[in-house]
């Protein structure tokens, strides 16, 4: 893939961030391939508001990857993950890159974004990833997923309303949030339990981040 146009300092920046997150530096190559593709498509399709390549490393790649330990159990058990309102594939594509064997469905209703992701999945050779071009609430796969992820999508009650049907019994919502979302959790519907809210440290990002884990009772 053509990563030659990327600024030369991106690779060391990304490799250092991967090391901080406990991930192998070798993942920098496919992650930069994805970034290069995203930058190229962003010129014609409005895929993400963040357009500076250095900012994309911290705000998109490393931010998505900061939750990677939470999907290790899925790789081990073979459980599937649905990334809801994934946009250009965040966090689903970076997670799939660093967790070979993780089965991911990228759920997105925007046709241009879905088209970009189909191309990215093909070019990156992500064999266990599929794109579902669909409204979340219309995805007819009840109970098919051991976990759902959501980043910059909606409040926790709304995420559960849209996509709760996709989770198997005991399944987990892994919601990426900024500050700990007290009000959202106060409004959580019946049938769901807050398991944990864990602060995440994202290399290169000076902002509060939390991973909120909610389980179906
Ligand atoms: C703010 S973007 C976040 C994208 C990505 N998760 C990220 O972190 O960059 C929210 C995305 O969710 C999609 N979306 C919103 N509601 C949706 C729904 N009900 N079904 C499917 N996609 C939806 C939008 O099209 C948009 O691409």
Q: Which domains does the chain have, with CATH numbers?
A: 10-61 (no CATH), 67-216 (3.40.50.150)
The per-residue pLDDT for 170 is: 92
User: Separation of 64 CA from ligand 1 center, angstroms?
Assistant: 15
User: Separation of 13 CA from ligand 1 center, angstroms?
Assistant: 27
16-28 pLDDT per residue, tens: 999 999 999 999 9
Residues 109, 214: Cα–Cα separation, whole Å: 24
The per-residue pLDDT for 23 is: 98
The per-residue pLDDT for 126 is: 98
The answer to whether 113 touches 87, Cβ cutoff 8 Å, is yes
Ligand 1 site: residues with CB under 6 angstroms?
48, 85-87, 90, 107-110, 113, 135-137, 151-153, 162
The answer to whether 77 touches 146, Cβ cutoff 8 Å, is yes
Residue in 121, 106, 102, 94 with CA at minimum distance from that of residue 21: 94
163-196 pLDDT per residue, tens: 999 999 999 999 999 999 999 999 999 999 999 9
**SS percent in the chain: helix, strand, coil, step 5:** 40, 25, 35
The answer to whether 135 touches 110, Cβ cutoff 8 Å, is no
Residue 157 CB-half CA count within 13 A = 10
DSSP class of residue 1 equals: -
- Tokens, residue 133: 């071009």
The answer to whether 76 touches 101, Cβ cutoff 8 Å, is no
């Amino acid at each position: 893939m053509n990563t030659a146009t990327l600024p030369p300092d991106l690779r060391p920046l990304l490799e250092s961030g991967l090391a901080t997150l406990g991930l192998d530096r070798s993942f920098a190559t496919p992650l930069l391939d994805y970034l290069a593709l995203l930058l190229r498509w962003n010129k014609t399709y409005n895929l993400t508001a963040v357009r500076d390549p250095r900012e994309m490393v911290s705000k998109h790649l490393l931010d998505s990857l900061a939750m990677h330990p939470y999907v290790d159990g899925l790789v081990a058990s073979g459980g599937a993950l649905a990334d809801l309102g994934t946009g250009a594939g965040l966090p689903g594509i970076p997670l799939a890159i660093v967790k070979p064997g993780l089965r991911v469905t990228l759920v997105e209703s925007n046709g241009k974004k879905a088209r970009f992701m189909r191309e990215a999945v093909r070019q990156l050779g992500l064999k266990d990833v599929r794109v579902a071009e669909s409204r979340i609430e219309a995805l007819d796969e009840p109970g098919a997923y051991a976990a759902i992820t959501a980043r910059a999508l909606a409040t926790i009650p709304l995420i559960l309303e849209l996509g709760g049907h996709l989770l198997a019994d005991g399944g987990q919502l892994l919601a990426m949030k900024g500050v700990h979302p007290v009000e959202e959790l106060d409004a959580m519907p019946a049938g769901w339990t807050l398991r944990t809210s864990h602060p995440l440290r994202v290399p290169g990002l000076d902002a509060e981040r939390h991973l909120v884990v909610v389980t179906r009772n």
